[in-house]
C-alpha cells in the first residue's frame, strides 16, 4: 500500500531549528489533521512534504505524483480571474479551455461561489472567497494527496459545514489521502481519521489521537462530545497552551514534551 512516510525529519531556517525529529506515516486514503500552537512548524512541514523546501535532515518518501496544495495564504494569480485560477492546474494538464472552465464552474458552485464571483480578480474577492478559490484550484485536479493549510479559517460556520461535507464527499469518492493543518480541534474531529498534536521550540510531535468513528456516523452530537472529551485530556490542553487541568486549579510543571510518544 502506498504511504507518505516521514522519518527523523529536522528542518532549520539558518541556524534556527524549527522542526526536530518528526516521524509520521500517512497511509493511503487516511485524513490526518495536524494541530499545534502558532509557530510550531506546521506550515514548514507542509512545504517540506510539498517539495518546496528540502529537509535539513531526515527523509520524506512521497509516493504520490498527483499532489495538490492549498497554502495558508491563497497565492492566487493576480492577473487571472477566479474561474481561471480554479482551472489553473487543469490547464497545466492540457485540458481544453471550454472543458476546464466547465469543470471549474461546477466546482465553484459546490464551494458557494456565484457566476459574478468567478469573473472577479483575486484583489476583488473577500478573504473567504479567495480561500474557496484556492481550495477549488486544489480539488480541481482530483489529487491523490491533498495538502491543506488552514483551508477553512476565513469562513463562516455555515460555509464551513457545507465545505466539510463537500470535502468528505470528495475524499470518500476518490479515496484521497489528506494532510491538513487546522487550529480548530472540532474541525479536526469532524474531518480527520487521526489527529497529530505538535508542540513548539523546536516543532515536534507530542501526541496522536486516533478517531475510529466512521465518518457517516459523525453527527453534531458525536463531534461536540468527542471534542469536549478531548479538551479534557491533559496532552491536548498542553498542546493548545491551556492549563493542564480543565478547572485550571492544578499546578503542573511538566512540559508538553512530557507526553511525547
Binding-site ranges for Mg ion (CB under 5 A) = 43, 72
38 binds, among ligand ATP, Mg ion, none (CB under 5 to 8 A by kind): ligand ATP
Smallest distance, ligand ATP to C-beta of residue 179, A: 13
Residue 245: how many CB atoms within 10 A of its CB?
13
Smallest distance, ligand ATP to C-beta of residue 216, A: 31
Considering beta carbons, is residue 41 or 143 the nearer one to ligand ATP?
41
Smallest distance, Mg ion to C-beta of residue 40, A: 9
| Phi-psi map region of 260: left, alpha, beta (phi>0 left; psi -120 to 50 alpha) | beta
Considering beta carbons, is residue 44 or 81 the nearer one to ligand ATP?
44
Phi, psi values for residue 44, rounded to 5°: -60, -45
Query: CB nearest Mg ion: which residue?
Result: 43
Whole-angstrom Cα distance, residue 188 to residue 148? 12
114 binds, among Mg ion, ligand ATP, none (CB under 5 to 8 A by kind): none
Smallest distance, ligand ATP to C-beta of residue 48, A: 10
Smallest distance, Mg ion to C-beta of residue 39, A: 8
Smallest distance, ligand ATP to C-beta of residue 39, A: 4
39 binds, among Mg ion, ligand ATP, none (CB under 5 to 8 A by kind): ligand ATP
255 binds, among Mg ion, ligand ATP, none (CB under 5 to 8 A by kind): none
Considering beta carbons, is residue 41 or 55 the nearer one to ligand ATP?
41
Q: Which three cell numbers stand for residue 87?
A: 482551472
β-pairing verdict for 31-35 and 194-199: parallel
Q: What is the largest CA-CA distance in the chain?
A: 63
N-term to C-term CA, the chain: 25
Q: Residues in the site for ligand ATP, rule: CB under 6 A?
A: 13, 18, 38-44, 72
Considering beta carbons, is residue 90 or 197 the nearer one to ligand ATP?
197
- HSE-up of 257 (CA within 13 Å, CB side)? 8
Residues forming a β-bridge with 203: 19
Residue 16: how many CB atoms within 10 A of its CB?
9
Whole-angstrom Cα distance, residue 235 to residue 28? 27
Number of helices (H) and strands (E), helices first, in the chain?
10, 9
18 binds, among Mg ion, ligand ATP, none (CB under 5 to 8 A by kind): ligand ATP
Smallest distance, ligand ATP to C-beta of residue 184, A: 12
13 binds, among ligand ATP, Mg ion, none (CB under 5 to 8 A by kind): ligand ATP
Considering beta carbons, is residue 72 or 227 the nearer one to Mg ion?
72
Contact 166, 110 (CB under 8 A): yes
Amino acid at each position: 500500500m502506498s504511504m507518505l512516510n516521514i522519518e527523523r525529519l529536522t528542518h532549520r531556517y539558518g541556524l534556527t531549528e524549527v522542526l526536530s525529529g518528526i516521524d509520521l506515516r500517512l497511509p493511503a486514503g487516511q485524513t490526518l489533521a495536524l494541530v499545534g500552537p502558532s509557530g510550531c512548524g506546521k506550515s514548514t512541514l507542509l512545504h517540506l512534504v510539498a517539495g518546496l523546501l528540502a529537509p535539513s535532515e531526515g527523509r520524506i518518501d512521497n509516493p504520490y505524483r498527483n499532489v495538490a496544495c492549498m497554502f495558508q495564504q491563497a497565492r492566487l494569480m493576480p492577473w487571472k480571474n477566479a474561474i481561471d485560477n480554479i482551472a489553473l492546474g487543469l490547464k497545466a494538464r492540457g485540458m481544453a479551455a471550454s472543458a476546464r472552465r466547465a469543470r471549474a464552474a461546477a466546482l465553484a458552485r459546490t464551494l458557494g461561489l456565484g457566476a459574478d464571483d468567478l469573473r472577479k480578480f483575486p484583489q476583488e474577492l473577500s478573504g473567504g472567497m479567495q480561500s474557496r478559490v484556492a481550495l477549488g484550484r486544489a480539488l480541481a485536479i482530483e489529487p491523490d494527496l491533498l495538502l491543506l493549510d488552514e483551508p477553512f479559517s476565513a469562513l463562516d460556520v455555515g460555509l464551513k459545514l457545507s465545505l466539510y461535507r463537500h470535502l468528505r464527499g470528495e475524499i470518500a469518492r476518490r479515496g484521497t489521502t489528506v494532510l491538513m493543518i487546522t487550529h480548530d480541534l472540532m474541525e479536526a474531529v469532524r474531518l480527520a481519521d487521526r489527529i497529530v498534536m505538535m508542540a513548539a521550540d523546536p516543532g515536534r510531535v507530542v501526541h496522536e489521537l486516533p478517531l475510529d468513528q466512521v465518518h457517516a456516523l459523525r453527527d453534531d452530537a458525536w463531534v461536540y462530545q468527542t471534542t469536549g472529551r478531548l479538551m479534557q485530556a491533559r496532552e491536548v490542553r498542553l498542546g493548545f497552551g491551556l492549563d493542564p487541568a480543565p478547572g485550571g486549579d492544578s499546578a503542573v510543571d511538566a512540559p508538553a514534551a512530557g507526553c511525547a510518544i
